[in-house]
Amino acid sequence: MNVRTSRIVALLTILALLLSGVSAFAQDTFMGKTAAELFPIPDVAANEQEQQLAFQALLAAGLPDGTALGAGQTMTFGVLGQGSRGGISGTIYFWRNVFEAATGAEMEIVEVPYNELGTTIPADFLTGQYTYDAFIGAAWQYGDWVSNEWIQPIDQWIGDPRFPSWTPDDTAPAFRALLQWGGQTYGSQMDGDAQLLYYRQDILSDPEWQAAYEAEVGSPMPFPIRTWQDLLAITTFFNGKDWNEDGDPDDGISLHLAAGGQGHFHYATLAASFAVTPSAGDDARAVSKYDNVFWFDPDDMTPLINQPGHVRALEFLQELAATGQEAQFGWQLGEAWDNFLGGNAIATFSWGDVGSLSQNPDRSVITGNLGADVIPCSSEWYDRETGAFVTDTENPNCVGNTTGGSWHPTMSAFTDVPELTYYFMAMLANPVINFYNATTGWQGIDPCCTYQLYEPRGTAVSEDYTAVGFNADDMERYINSYGSNVYDKTTYLTYLRIPGTLEYIQETLDIRLSEAMTGQLSAQAALDATAADWEAVTDGLDRANQLAIYQAAIGYTPGG
């Protein structure tokens, strides 16, 4: 029995058990429709599996009758534009028919290209068009949205039985903080972005390859991988060898480094352990002028991006990328993933999508062989307070991350249909629906919550994943690593949520990083240019205002 068939058999068994407990509303609203009507999927080969699993999740979600909120109304939803089967936007298309059936409303979807997120939605507010009732954006945009009062809190509706059930208490604290600002909740849970290290478990644990490594390098293979320096040693050894036995040389690392390809996230994740120091006080995560800061000096907004720790990190990224194909410098996100999932690279570091996509037989040949761990530490880092590098192989510097967008819906402060809008926001945050979405892979939704994590951090169990056809050993490594990253790290890369974040990152840093990675500029020159760019952006946006918002965003108290 293949993976797809086993998933269908399992879900049909569960579905039969569910039917007796389905609410009268669900029976009247959904049972008369086919899964294909509720979940139209253009890829016929995927229809039966995806539709039936989604229908199972729908019945278990216990959606309340929303027709009093939505009959005859229209809700307009803005979303990252990646199409009806693309990451994040695909989720909205996938659940639109269910929302319309549950509320009697209509939903209009407006896609916004990734590179226009920082201009299209702000322009809509600034010109008073107020096109969107809700929009899915990234957590880094809160600096713009909240400071300009474009979005509104949703606390008043959380827990109201008129809406689908969910609670922020389920959300891991590191992700919950990204839904909130100033003690109020603005977003409903959908996606929890963090980057992990992924590798080929079968190859790195193979005694023959371990012996070959030691014979060539002169020391045992540093596996499990603990530091970035360990990773570089391993990818250097494996790069160019035919370790997958397909007759062609294979890669050590697989990264997406094209300008506009989100490669700046690779840099931030890696650079954190070279540039962030924990507090020496009782709270290792306390933010001070020198500790737990990455982006700007919290006293005056001076860019830190060209400090020695950042420069060394970029030089290291250049070394690491050299253990993979030159084509990486032109790769977008999916190309780097596919190279790893296709069995051609020994390692990558990226989001949780890799974990779920590794279980898709149409996308992956490594099911059962996925290795996963928290992002490596660094055995060298720069201490800004002392002005010197620290080297410690026994106690390396370990920094967790919530790198990425953690994409989720927020509600316009100007919507005419706030309760209808919240119904859909809450529907996407419902634990059963959210769990399903995070297991499809293609939706781009990653684990966020206790119901997706194993003990001791959550309530999920292995059977929750094997029931949808996932490999138990792969999930043991992947889910436990995800939970460890968001719960167990001593300190974390501070999240940048200030006005102009996309201008700082997407329009300046990303371009300068590409210039460094392709050899046009040295690491120092690229980051010096970035610092100059950032100074200009800050001055153009009002330095004093930027400083106040930055301090609030990272939890810094001047003089504290």
Residues 431 and 513 both lie in one domain:
no
**DSSP reduced 3-state for 513:** helix
pLDDT value at residue 8: 44
Whether residue 486 lies inside any domain: the answer is no
pLDDT value at residue 43: 63
Q: Which of 416, 444, 472 is the endpoint of a domain?
A: 444
Residues 285 and 339 both lie in one domain:
yes
Residues 509 and 425 both lie in one domain:
no
Whether residue 467 lies inside any domain: the answer is no
Residues 25 and 109 both lie in one domain:
no
Residues 201 and 176 both lie in one domain:
no
Q: Which of 62, 82, 114 is the endpoint of a domain?
A: 62
Give the domain extent around 100: 66-187+408-444
Please report, in tens digits, the pLDDT of each residue of the chain (560 residues total): 444 444 444 444 444 444 445 778 888 898 878 888 898 777 655 567 788 889 989 999 999 999 999 999 999 999 988 898 889 999 999 999 999 999 999 999 999 988 788 889 999 999 999 999 999 989 999 999 999 999 999 999 999 999 999 999 999 999 999 999 999 999 999 999 999 999 999 999 999 999 999 999 999 999 999 999 999 999 999 999 999 999 999 999 999 999 988 899 999 999 999 999 999 988 999 999 999 999 999 999 999 999 999 999 999 999 999 999 999 999 999 999 999 999 999 999 999 999 999 999 989 999 999 999 999 999 999 999 999 999 999 999 999 999 999 999 999 999 999 999 999 999 999 999 999 999 998 899 999 999 999 999 999 999 999 999 999 999 999 999 999 999 999 999 999 999 999 899 989 999 999 999 999 999 999 999 999 999 999 999 999 999 999 999 999 999 76
Whether residue 453 lies inside any domain: the answer is no
Whether residue 464 lies inside any domain: the answer is no
- The number of residues making up the chain comes to 560
Residue 382 sits in a domain whose CATH number is 3.40.190.10
Residues 146 and 180 both lie in one domain:
yes
Residues 377 and 498 both lie in one domain:
yes
Euclidean distance between CA atoms 452 and 458, whole angstroms: 7
Whether residue 480 lies inside any domain: the answer is no
pLDDT value at residue 351: 97
Burial class (CB in 10 A: 0-12, 13-18, 19+), 327: middle
Q: Which of 45, 62, 79 is the endpoint of a domain?
A: 62
Residues 374 and 420 both lie in one domain:
no
Strand-pairing partners, residue 180, are 185
Residues 240 and 180 both lie in one domain:
no
pLDDT value at residue 492: 93
User: How many distinct structural domains can be found in the chain?
Assistant: 3
pLDDT value at residue 34: 81
Strand-pairing partners, residue 371, are 199
Residues 11 and 44 both lie in one domain:
yes
Whether residue 468 lies inside any domain: the answer is no
* CA nearest neighbour of 423 among 92, 158, 140, 143: 158
Alpha helices (runs of H) in 330-404, residue ranges in sequence order: 333-341, 353-357
Residues 43 and 93 both lie in one domain:
no
Cα-Cα-Cα-Cα torsion 163, 165, 168, 174, nearest 10 degrees, comes to: -120
Residues 240 and 289 both lie in one domain:
yes
